[in-house]
Each structure stands twice: as structure tokens, then as C-alpha cells.
Amino acid sequence: MFPQDQPYDAGTEAAPFLPLAARLGLAFGLLVLHLALPVETLGGLPGEGCYLAALAALFLESVWECHRSIRRGCTPFATPTPGWIRFNLFLDMVLVTLIIAYHGVDQAQLATIYIFPVLASAFYLGIIEIVAVAVLSSAMHISSVLLLTTGTLPAFGRSDTSVAMDPPQLAFILGFATLQIFAAALVVVSIRKHMESLRSNLSRSESVVGELSSLYQQVFESMFSGLVTVDLAGRITSANPAAQNILRRPLAPGTPIDAQGLGALADLGSRVKGGRFELDVATPEGEERIVGGNLVPLAGPDGQPSGHLVVFQDLTQLKALEERTRTSERLAGVGELSAEMAHELRNPMASILGCVQILQQGEQPRAMMERVLTILGRESERVSGLVTDFLDFTRPRPARIQAFRLRDIVEDLRASWETDPRNAGLAIAAGDPPDLEVLGDTAWVHQVFINLLSNARKALQGTVEPHIHLEYRLRPGAVSVAVCDNGCGMTEARRRMVFIPFSSGFEEGTGLGMSLVFQFVQKMGWDIQVESVPGRGTRVALTMPLHIPAPEQAGPPAEPRAQTTPARRRPPAEARKALRNA
């Protein structure tokens, strides 16, 4: 805002009011200079008394304005109201006209003094009034020159009719002075327009900054998450109401963050995992809360670290809800698994009970007795296998990871397959497995492949040309072994449920085979993928990590030792739920 655009405000002006300060200094300087010079130097010029009286009057008027400003409680040269600004500029033009008239209107260089009122007007007046000051200055100069050179006014100082100026010289003096005045006005108007443009842009920028600041403040105070900023020394610089509500304590700027329940920044940073942290916080009332959030470094304008931003939420109720949900899912899973288990046990138990009732009837033919005993043995083995698989599924032992040769496992599988009478007439195309060492639990590995091969055999029932084969593919740091068949295949819906307990589509078996396969595969750090097309067959691929011994351990396989399971793919949602419920 420029001075002419605002009302007079005592005590707020920092820059001096230029027209008043210049007039006071110039009038006083000329008076002192004139009185200090010898009388012989001045030579008794005409109108000297009027000249000195006018200078004294202008000086006294300036002193009075300074006194008036001080009496109003501001600085001596404070910017006055717009009316007084115009009056002061007019007095400055009068002073310039007085000086030029006394020292000689034929002195073209003196007309340059008119530029000062024009320049000063740029700080206090609008564009139209600046042009008016230039016009008035030019008019006063032309009038004084013409009136004094033509004898209309009496001789004044060095200006009288004795000043001989031919028309060209007069035109030059007047034209040169007018050109200076209006050139200065043009420059001042350009500066003024530029200043107004800057003021407009500044006003818009201030408005945008104000809106953004207001929006930031609203967002900052309306967030449900706690937000705290701290400097490099760990002192709080700002905190929103949500942060104080979560921690149940005031977070005043300047207080250390380690005294607010969140702990020191170094300790907090050590708890950040995956970009988040969780910790237990005790409120001043002794209430335990679970707080989770993020710790983000802040950088200053120069890109150097300037502090940290801590954003956190109260997870107490969410964690309690998660725990209740897990408990409910666990109980529901136990109930569902128990119901499925009871259903699977009911059929063999019904057969055993029927055989017992036959035996209770007394002497039976030998053929009947042999049949009853066969049924008893078969169903008892079925119940035993079901209970064994169920115990393996619900209470698995820790994995015993060790290195073994892939070819040895394939040979063992081939031998087990060929000695099983259920596989008579059906061979495995095992191919030539790569001579590599892989990591796994040998007992679980054997059981996993036996279950997969057994399912492949069951899927081949009714197939005209049944076929089972193994595929091998090398991958970076791993090898993939796939069990493939050309059996009945599975629909997409059944494929998604293949690892769910008791969801097998085969009459033979316990219904826990693929669930055990998935569990063993996950515990060994392997990966499993199932691909199937109805009527064309199924492909189950197992990806197992290679054993790469250290240089000093190259040669024979190392002694069995526990290994850290590598990262593995996230299991299907149905399988995760089944394992969690179990």
C-alpha cells in the first residue's frame, strides 16, 4: 500500500516525507548561505528582501509542519494526509520557481531542479496527479521566464529586462526545461505503473499465501492423526490437537519429545519397520495405548536436514478389534475343522460299527469273516491315516532344513511309486533331473511329492492314455520341479480351494494331503503354483532354493543345520485362512 492510499497513522511511518524534508533543508541552507556571503558579493540585487522573506516563510512553514507532526505523536517528517501531500509539493514548486527567478531565468541548467517535485510525487500521488505536477511545474517556469524577460514583473535578482535573449535562445530555454520536466514525468509514470503492478501482484500473492496458510491450518487442526514436528535437537516445534488428544498431554513448542511418551527420536527411528513404527504409550493417567505411525525427515530450503515429522494414530481400539476378530475366526475355524473331521470319521466308523455288529451275531461263514476282517483293517488304517494327517496339520514339527541332491529324491520317489500296488501299470516319466543340491526337509520333501503324485494318479482314473511326468526348470538361485498329468483337471473355483482342508474332490484319501503340502512348502521356504484345465490335466510346480556352499565348504554336502527360510510368495487367501484357523 502506498502512502496516498492509506490514512494518516501516527507513529507508523519509517521513511521521511521527502517534499517536506527537502524544502526545510533547502530553504535553511539558502538562507544561511545568503547571510554568510559578503554584501559586496551579492551587489544589492533587486528584490533581495522579498527573496529572503520568502525563504524564511517557507522555512518557518516547514518547521511548523514538523512541530505539528511531533505534536500528533509521530516523527517530524512523517507522511501526512493526501491533502497535505499535494500542498507540500506545490510549496516545493514555488521554492524552485523562486530560486530560478532570483538567480536568473536565463540559466537553463537551473530548470533541472523542477525534476525533484515530479520525482517525489511518484511516491505519494497517482498517475494523473503526477502528470498534473509536471504540467504545473512547466507552466510556472514558462510563466516566470516570460513575465520577467518581458518586464511584466519588476526586476527580481538577476532576472530583469536587461537579460537579452533572442527568440531562438528563449525557445531553447523554455523547450529544454519543459522537455526535462516531462521526460522526468514519463519516467516517473512508468515507475509508478510498475510499482502498481508489483503491488497488485504482491497483493494477489499475499492473498494466495493467506488462503494456503488458512487451508494448512485447517487441515493441520482437523486431522484425526497426530502430527508433531521436531527440530534436530529433538524439541517440539508444532503439534496439532489430535496429537495432544492421543497422548493425553499438552505438547508445547520447545519441550523435548522424549518426555511426551513417544521416546527419543533415535529410539523411535530404531522401531521403524517398513516405514512404520508401533509402540506402547502410557498416558499421564496411567492408561496404556498402542500408537503407530511414520517418522519422516524434514529438509530446509537449502536441502539440509532441519528436523523430523512424526505422524501417528491411536491403534488401541483397532488392535483390540483385530484380536477379537482373530479369536472369532480361530474359533470358527476350529468348529469348521472339527465338523469336517467328524464327517470324515463318520464313514469309516460306520463301517467298523457294522462289522462289529456282524461279529456279535456269533459264528459266521469263513468268507464272511474274511470280508469283515478286511473291512475292519482297511477302515482302521483309514481312521489312523486321517488322525495322523490331522495331527501333522494342526501340530507340525519345526522344519529341519538341510542340503540334499535332487536326483536322490527323484530316485526315491521312483522306487516308492513302483512298489505301490495301486500304481500298477502306470509309470512316471521322471526324465533326467539336474545334478543339483537343494535346501529342504527331506522327510517333508518325500511326503510332498508322494501326495502330489497320488493326486495325479487319482485324477487319471477314466483317462484313456494316462500319463504322469516331471519337468525341471532352472531359475536364478532356484530350481523348479513340476508334477504334470493329463487327467480330469480342475475348474477355477476348485483350483482356488485346492489347499483348503477336506476340500478334495477324490473319494480316496483323507482330504488333508494338499493342505499338508502347502504347509510344508511354506515352512521350507519354497513356492508352489497350481495350473489346471478341466479335461486336459493339472500342473503343480514347486520352486526350491539351491544350496550354494561357501568356497571353503565345497565338496561333500555339509552337516544338516537349520537354515533361515528365504522370502516366499504370499499364499492364497483361502489357504492362509485355513492355516490360521487351524
User: 395 is written with which cell numbers?
Assistant: 501340530
Residue 389 is predicted with a pLDDT of: 65
Q: How many CB atoms lie within 10 A of CB 579?
A: 18
Cβ atoms of 140 and 117 within 8 Å: the answer is: no
Q: Measured between alpha carbons, how far is 416 from 490 in angstroms, rounded to an integer?
A: 26
User: What averages of pLDDT result for each successive group of 10 residues across the chain (582 residues)?
Assistant: 41 70 90 77 74 91 92 88 92 91 83 87 86 91 86 81 72 86 88 84 88 84 86 86 86 81 60 72 82 84 85 87 78 64 68 80 79 80 71 72 91 84 84 91 87 88 88 92 92 85 64 81 91 91 88 49 38 42 40
User: 549 is written with which cell numbers?
Assistant: 556352499
Question: Is beta strand 468-475 parallel, antiparallel or unpaired with respect to 428-429?
Answer: parallel
- Three-state DSSP at 435 gives coil
Ranges assigned E (strand) in 197-324: 226-231, 236-239, 277-282, 288-299, 305-314
Q: Measured between alpha carbons, how far is 166 from 149 in angstroms, rounded to an integer?
A: 11
Q: Which residues contact 519 (CB under 8 A, 6 or more apart)?
A: 393, 396, 579
Q: Measured between alpha carbons, how far is 418 from 425 in angstroms, rounded to an integer?
A: 9
Residue 580 is predicted with a pLDDT of: 42
Q: Is the dihedral of CA 317, 321, 323, 324 positive or negative?
A: positive
Which amino acid, residue 570? Answer: R
Ranges assigned E (strand) in 441-579: 468-475, 478-485, 527-533, 537-545
In the chain, the largest separation of any two C-alpha atoms, in whole Å, equals 169
Kindly list the structural domains of the chain, giving each domain's residue range(s) and its CATH number in brackets, ordered by start.
3-203 (no CATH), 223-314 (3.30.450.20), 320-394 (1.10.287.130), 402-581 (3.30.565.10)
What is the DSSP secondary structure assignment for residue 558, as one 8-state letter?
P
Residue 562 is predicted with a pLDDT of: 38
Residue 575 is predicted with a pLDDT of: 41
Closest CA to 11 of 79, 80, 75: 75
> Rg of the chain over CA atoms, in angstroms?
52
Cβ atoms of 486 and 511 within 8 Å: the answer is: no
Q: Which residue has the cell 492510499?
A: 5
Residue 526 is predicted with a pLDDT of: 92
Which amino acid, residue 482? Answer: A
Distances (CA, A) of 430 to 413, 422, 433, 456, 472: 9, 18, 7, 14, 10
First to last CA, the chain: 76
Residue 65 is predicted with a pLDDT of: 92
Cβ atoms of 399 and 441 within 8 Å: the answer is: yes
Q: What are phi and psi of 137, to 5 degrees?
A: -60, -45
Cβ atoms of 92 and 117 within 8 Å: the answer is: yes
Beta bridge partners of 297: 308
Q: Measured between alpha carbons, how far is 317 from 290 in angstroms, rounded to an integer?
A: 9
Cβ atoms of 291 and 246 within 8 Å: the answer is: yes
Q: Which residues contact 97 (CB under 8 A, 6 or more apart)?
A: 140, 141, 144
What's the helix, strand, coil split of the chain in %, to 5? Answer: 55, 15, 30
Which amino acid, residue 282? Answer: A
